[in-house]
Structure 1
Amino acid sequence: MSQTSILVLTTGGTIDKAYFDALSEYQIVDSGIPALLKEARVSVPFRMVELMRKDSLELTDADRALIASAARQAPETHIVVTHGTDTMTETAKVLAKAVPGKTVVLTGALSPARFAETDAPFNLGMAFAAAQTAGPGVWIAMSGQVFDGLKVRKDREAEKFVAI
């Protein structure tokens, strides 16, 4: 398999949240994605661009247009987008229309990457693998699966993503 460079676009979300003390709310801080990739000894070439630091519930149409524009204009054809899980599927729909011919994989976490018990490293690894092996289109790598980005939903009660 060739070493195709992967573009990582970070947008915020739970994967990059920190909890400072019992009286604080979560805050999105500097992305922990580079540290996760270093710890995992990722040797695939990648370039990271921080687009924003937002909870996905705060994303606007303009934010989604920015994500789509960055993906569309990038020289890379394999893209991982870290994103909050609450509106990940909404962004997937925008990307599916706006970024043809590229492989775009969205991923995030149900608990912050900085927590001892988190799905963040696993999901990020799944996203990197999917970006290298999936065909063009928009995909979501969550809950130990790679889903068609247009045929998935977050099941809050089960605390996982499920195909629809």
Structure 2
Amino acid sequence: MDISSRSPFRIMLLATGGTIEKSYDASAGALTLDVPVIDTLLATLDQPDVQVDVRRVMSIDSLDMGEAERAEVVTAARAALAASDVDAVVITHGTDTLAQTAQALATALDTPRLPIVLTGAMRPYRVADSDAAQNVAQALMAARLLTPGVYAAFHGRVIPAGRIVKDYERLTLIESAT
């Protein structure tokens, strides 16, 4: 049986923090990572025949993602890939270091048996005009359709690991020319 047609299609979502999870703290005048939003965001999406299980790996700004934290993400992805009841993996991640984590996953896992799709947001889920729900919905769909490998799904694009670049001017992820 082709797993892309299995019902429900089972996705393990590994949450790591990033802008997608941030909230504005008026008293501090800053964005903070204090209240997880992924479950709330997922509840707003119409994803028939898709079961998403969430595992919170960490809750950090991706600028704080060092090699030790990246290794935790790789370990969590490896565990999800080993589970017989998982058809794909989606990872929410901050955009500043998403490309490095995607490359670390591609290197450490060599040829994953399932698609691994990273996504995030340029604007937090809880602010007006957020791109969070759009990007998560696209990542969930991409995870269902892609062949095994490591990718980013962002603003209507799917980009393979090793070619992901953050465009700070246009506030998006793009595919590098090389």
Q: TM-score range by the shorter chain?
A: over 0.9
The answer as to 2:51 corresponding to 1:45 is yes
Task: Give me the identity figure in percent.
Answer: 37
DSSP 3-state at the match of 1:79: strand
Q: Deviations over 1:29-73 (max 9, x none)?
A: 232111111111334112110011100000111111111111111
Structure 1 residue ranges (4+ consecutive) displaced by more than 6 angstroms after TM superposition: none
Deviation at 1:23, TM superposition (A): 4.4
Match of 2:120 in 1: 108
Aligned to 2:89: 79
Unaligned runs of 5+ in 1: none
Structure 1 residue aligned with 2:129, among 106, 109, 117?
A: 117
Counterpart position of 2:35: 30
CA distance in 1, matches of 2:100, 2:114: 18
Give the number of equivalent residue pairs.
Answer: 164
Which of these two proteins has the greater Rg computed from alpha carbons?
2
Shift in Å at residue 127 of structure 1?
A: 0.3
* Kept in 1: contact 2:23–2:35 (CA 8 A): no
CA displacement 1:82-107 (0-9 Å, x = unmatched): 00000000000111022322210000
Q: Aligned-pair RMSD on alpha carbons?
A: 1.3
8 Å contact 1:72–1:98 — kept in the other structure?
Answer: no
Instruction: Tell me the CA shift for residue 115 of structure 1.
Output: 0.6
Matches within 5 A, 1:1-164: 1-2=5-6, 3-21=8-26, 23-43=28-48, 44-74=50-80, 75=83, 76-99=86-109, 100-164=112-176
Aligned residue for 1:121, secondary structure, equals helix
Which moves more between the two structures, 113-122 or 93-102? Answer: 93-102
The CA distance in 2 between the partners of 1:42 and 1:77, in whole Å, is 15
Paired amino acid for 2:152: I
Q: CA, structure 1 residues 7+65, in 2 after alignment: closer, same or farther (shift >3 Å)? A: same
Letter in 1 for 2:171: E
Q: Is the partner of 1:97 in helix, strand or coil?
A: helix
Could you tell which deviates more after superposition, 28-37 or 87-96? 28-37
What is the one-letter code of the residue matched to 2:64? Answer: E
TM-score normalized by the length of structure 2: 0.88
Provide the rounded CA distance (Å) in 2 between the counterparts of 1:31 and 1:6.
19
Q: Which runs of 5 or more residues in structure 2 are unaligned? A: none
